[in-house]
Amino acid sequence: MNPPSSTAVSKGETGQPVDPSLPRAYPATEGPRPARDPGFVLVVNAGSSSVKFGLFDFQTLQPSARALLDWGGSSQRATLTITPCTTGEHDSNSSKPTRCELDAPDYRTAVARGLELLCGTASGLHGDRSVRVVGHRLIHGGEEIRQPVFIDATMKQTIRRFLHLAPLHIPAGLEAIEATEAALPGVPQVGLFDTAFFAHIPPCAYLYPVPYEWYTDWGIRRFGFHGTSHAYCTLRAHEMLGRGPKGVRLVICHLGQGSSATAVAEGVAVTNTMGFTPLEGFMMGTRSGTVDPGIILYVQREKGLTVEQVDEILHHRSGLLGISGLSSDFRRVEQAAQQGHERSRLALEVYAYRVRTMIGALAVTLGGLDALVFTGGIGENSSWLRSEACRGLECLGVYLDAEKNLMTRPDDDVAKADSPARVLLIHTREDLMIAREARRLVLESNTA
Ligand code: ADP
């Protein structure tokens, strides 16, 4: 474990721009475009109970097909749903999906079979084309992995070292990598790590005020998550603002089933609201987000809850579900609140209050705000949440246009025309970000 470097940022306290000699986790542009290449980039996003695949044209990065492999609670069978995409268009223009049942004696076999079927279907639809590179979404790269990387045997060993930090996701990611090796032998594989976008957050933001040895001996520090989404939104916000990263300060709120916000200065993440684990920060669908750690001691000592019970409650029975007592789904809770369900109204109030206070804290960390970005299912779709979250932020130059805000259309700007800070709705594209970076690494390695 390396002690925190005081040279990591020029003005850590204020979160102002990082040392320009440090490499960015992701470059400011899409990278080179190949002149003509008839292959695919395959994106694999492996979760513990489902795997999402995306197949992109290598040259244009337009999606060719998407697929979902879902165990649906079974240990022996999985369903593969393949949705071809109309060439030259994005998500909304997908054709009719096809579904098939697969034998799934183990995770790796099911993923390999799913890959073969997806690539076969896509080749049939788009001509016989091969996969040029596979990009994997991986959750945790610890302090070591700070860039997208090629995956080889040594890298797999390195990833294994972070298993204790993401015990559900890392085994799934490694299995998916090995399934890809079996299904597509010889095809280069690239890993993108959610934590990598936060490689440059300063010590004042990542150290917890606990004994310093917890950090040096046990590696306890804040990491940050949802990095691939925050990286995509950073690049897209720069595009929408029509300004390069120079001088641009962003607060990005990714509000989905899991939620986090990131402060970004000049294209580099300064801090994220999630911490050592994705439990810190915003209140979420079923996760509590930040709570007084004294509560956790109290309920164990005084109320007799076990570690396992507290773990289960904070991860699966808190957040929107915990307060509303009804649902973890924001839309459902919103509907119930409109129909007079008091605890749903309360849950939404707490949710919005926490988003607003966090935006304020992050904006002050940056010394001001050029754009506030909303993404994720809730951020993109709930005009109520956006208007509540922006209430009082006029002091930071955020003036939401109430009418525009009602017409939810990512990617759009819903700030008043004369608002000093813009308010951007962005449809996050983690899969595209992974495809872009995987292609960039392959092209750069070919020209090296
Ligand atoms: P995940 O984190 O699983 O990717 P999403 O980003 O898809 O999740 O976000 C899911 C959340 O978005 C759910 O709580 C859902 O209710 C909410 N959501 C989706 N559409 C709407 C909508 N039109 N209005 C309010 N909330 C919505």
Q: How far apart are CA 90 and CA 145, in angstroms?
A: 31
Cα 412 to averaged position of ligand 1 atoms, centre (Å): 18
Long-range CB pairs of 353-357, under 8 A, 24+ apart, other chains included: 354/282, 354/283, 354/289, 355/253, 355/255, 355/259, 355/261, 355/282, 355/385, 355/388, 355/389, 356/388, 356/389, 356/390, 356/391, 356/392, 356/393
Q: What is the pLDDT of residue 165?
A: 86
Give the Cα separation of 216 and 213 in Å (integer).
5
Q: Tell me the two tokens of residue 129.
A: 């084309």
Least confident of 45-49, 274-278, 309-313, 353-357: 45-49
In this prediction, what percent of the chain has a pLDDT beyond 70? 88
How many Å lie between the centroid of ligand 1 and the Cα of residue 125? Answer: 31
User: Mapping DSSP to helix (H, G, I), strand (E, B) and coil, where does residue 260 land?
Assistant: strand
| Ligand 1 neighbourhood includes 329 CB (under 6 angstroms) | yes
* Cis ω for the linkage preceding 411 (within 30 of 0): yes
Q: Which structure tokens are listed for 420?
A: 């000093």
* Ligand 1 neighbourhood includes 381 CB (under 6 angstroms): yes
**3-state DSSP call for residue 280?**
coil
Could you tell me the two tokens for 395? 């002091």
Give the predicted TM-score (pTM) of the model.
0.89
Report the pLDDT value the prediction gives residue 6, as an integer from 0 to 100: 34
Report d(CA 375, CA 128) in Å as an integer.
36
User: pLDDT of 295-321, one tens digit each?
Assistant: 999 999 999 999 999 999 999 999 999
Mean of the pLDDT values across residues 270-283? 95
Buried b (16+ CB within 10 A) or exposed e, 348-365: bebbbebbbebbbebbeb
Q: Could you tell me if the CB of 47 is within 6 A of ligand 1?
A: no
> Would the CB of 319 count as within 6 Å of ligand 1?
no
- Tell me the pLDDT tens digit for each residue of 45-88: 998 788 999 999 999 999 999 999 998 877 788 999 999 887 54
- CA 131 to mean position of chain CA atoms: 24
Question: How, if at all, do strands 149-150 and 189-193 pair?
Answer: antiparallel
Residue 163 CA to ligand 1 centre (angstroms): 29
10 Å Cβ neighbour count for 241?
15
Give the bridge partners for 68, in sequence order.
Answer: 52, 81
| Contact status, residue 321 vs residue 327, Cβ threshold 8 Å | yes
Strands 63-70 and 77-84: antiparallel
Identity of the residue numbered 90: H
Q: For residue 81, give the H/E element and its range.
A: strand 77-84
Looking at ligand 1, which atom is closest to the CA of residue 258? 2
Q: Measured in angstroms, how far is the CA atom of residue 4 from the centroid of ligand 1?
A: 37
Q: Is 57 in the pocket of ligand 1 (CB under 6 A)?
A: no
Q: Are 288 and 318 in contact (CB under 8 A)?
A: yes
Amino acid at the residue 417: A
pLDDT higher than 90, residue 380: yes
Q: How confident is the model at residue 244, as a pLDDT?
A: 82
The residues annotated as belonging to the active site are 194
Mutate to test the pocket of ligand 1, among 91, 194, 254, 257 (most ligand atoms within 8 A of CB): 257
What number of H helices and E strands is found in the chain? 15, 14
C-alpha span between 214 and 203 (Å, rounded): 14
Q: Which of 445, 360, 334 is nearest to 34 (CA)?
A: 445
Mutate to test the pocket of ligand 1, among 228, 331, 335 (most ligand atoms within 8 A of CB): 331
Separation of 97 CA from ligand 1 center, angstroms? 22
Q: Which of 225, 351, 378 to mutate to test the pocket of ligand 1 (most atoms within 8 A of CB)?
A: 378
Task: Output the pLDDT for position 177.
Answer: 97
Looking up tokens 């240990």, which residue turns up?
75
User: From the CB of residue 293, how many other CB atoms can be counted at a distance below 10 Å?
Assistant: 9
pLDDT range class, residue 3, cuts 50, 70, 90: very low
Query: Which ligand 1 atom is nearest residue 257's CA?
Result: 2
| Tens-digit pLDDT profile for residues 143-180 | 999 999 999 999 999 999 998 888 878 999 999 999 99
Strand residues in 256-388 grouped as ranges (E): 259-265, 268-272, 371-375
pLDDT confidence tier of residue 16, bands split at 50, 70 and 90: very low
Q: How far is the CA of 144 from the centre of ligand 1 (A)?
A: 32
